[in-house]
Amino acid sequence: MPEIEKDRYYAIQLTSQYTFNFGYIGSRTTGNGAGCYAVAGPGWTGDTPEGVEKVFVSETEFALAVYRTQLFNAADIDNVKAIQAKYEAKPLSAFLGEPAPAAAPAIDWPAIDPSTEKKDVLSYLPFLLQFAPPTGPAAVEDPLRAKFATIGIESGKPFPTIALSDADKAAMAEAGTAAEAEIKAKIESMGKLVNGWIVITSGIGDREDYAGDWAQRAGVAVAGILGNDPVEAVYPLTRHDGDGQLLDGSTAKYTLTFPKDAFPPVNAFWSVTMYDGKTQLLVENPIDRYLVNSPMLPELKLAADGSLTLYIQKDEPTDPDQKANWLPAPDGPIYMVMRLYWPKDEVLNGSWSPPAITRVE
């Protein structure tokens, strides 16, 4: 990692194939100084190599590193690119100047067809399990994997490993439908409902945080896969206004006001992002604005009392002050997410609340 100026937030989120977070490198955890860190697979027992500050151990053979580097404004993009160019990942052997170990066996990756992923998930699962050995913290899964074997699911073996009757297959299909409903219900019950926003400050992160609640893990993956630990970032999200009515840009206009002394309390920065409620994708708009964040405050129009009001609507406001604070909405269902990076205790303990979105009458 290169040295990064102290006022710029950055984080590298390390997550396993389970989407359990197993470590962080960055402003909150290791600081903004230069340093070298290692990521090892399950079963790592070696000493910390010379020149390496810390070894992070993944439960699975494959892991993902999600790099986030704060961008202050459009003019800052070249600075961010320069920092990103200095991020470096290499095999440990190359870092130590040693010969590379023998190559790992080639992997025959199965074709993934999104249109049939639900139907074929039980065929994909045994393939994936071979890269997630039940060792270390994952040893708690031994009883679960024993249950898998009773329905023909075994690590690295073609599914099914036992003969399944038509009744078995029907029951498994029914279980899949029931599980999908359970996951949907879990999403709707996650976190606390605060002024129309769902705020989740626990039950997300590593294996210990999920505490064996697989519906919670699946729900988080559906609602926002690769979410950070709450101490790194909290994501208030909503599809409703403060009165509980669904947000819809085709039928209404809305405002979101942060009082002067109630901006999101963070050590890094905060943002509010607009999504299409149907696709959960960004909304194309004529001013290329997809979010409003704290570094943008100098460009926005604050009220005389120091508050900030965002104007959430599909059509461009005619009032210049409102236009400055316009967050373009889709012509249909709205989905909005706040991102509070490196939140302060007021966020984590619930003493700060996100303000309600208000329908303009």
Do 119 and 72 belong to one domain? no
State the CATH number of the domain containing residue 342. 2.60.120.1600
Domain that includes residue 122, residue range = 114-187
Do 211 and 327 belong to one domain? yes
Per-residue pLDDT band for 110 (boundaries 50, 70, 90) equals confident
Do 161 and 262 belong to one domain? no
Task: Please check whether residue 168 lies inside any domain of the structure.
Answer: yes
Do 154 and 296 belong to one domain? no
Q: 294 and 269 in contact (C-beta within 8 Å)?
A: yes
β-partners of residue 57 are 40
Helices (H), the chain: 77-86, 92-96, 117-129, 142-150, 166-189, 207-210, 214-224, 320-324, 345-348
Task: Please check whether residue 327 lies inside any domain of the structure.
Answer: yes
Task: Please check whether residue 2 lies inside any domain of the structure.
Answer: no
Task: Please check whether residue 106 lies inside any domain of the structure.
Answer: no
What does the pLDDT read at residue 120?
75
Task: Please check whether residue 197 lies inside any domain of the structure.
Answer: no
Do the bridges between strand 326-328 and strand 308-313 make them parallel or antiparallel, or are there none, so unpaired? parallel
β-partners of residue 274 are 336
Task: Please check whether residue 232 lies inside any domain of the structure.
Answer: yes
What does the pLDDT read at residue 118?
67
Q: What percent of the chain has pLDDT over 90?
A: 85
Answer yes or no: pTM beyond 0.75: yes
Do 218 and 334 belong to one domain? yes
Q: What is the pLDDT of residues 280-322, one digit of tens each?
A: 999 999 999 999 999 999 999 999 999 999 999 999 999 999 9
Do 275 and 176 belong to one domain? no
What does the pLDDT read at residue 111?
82
Q: What is the pLDDT of residues 180-209, one digit of tens each?
A: 999 999 988 889 999 999 999 998 998 999
Tell me the mean pLDDT in the region 71-91: 96
Domain count, the chain: 3
Tell me the mean pLDDT in the region 139-160: 93
Task: Please check whether residue 274 lies inside any domain of the structure.
Answer: yes
| Locus of tokens 């208030």 | 236
**pLDDT at 172 > cutoff 80:** yes
Burial class (CB in 10 A: 0-12, 13-18, 19+), 1: buried
Do 355 and 276 belong to one domain? yes
Choose the final residue of a domain: 96, 127, 160. 96
Nearest to 190 by CA among 215, 208, 160, 156: 215
Choose the final residue of a domain: 66, 96, 126. 96
CA dihedral (28, 9, 216, 221) positive or negative: negative
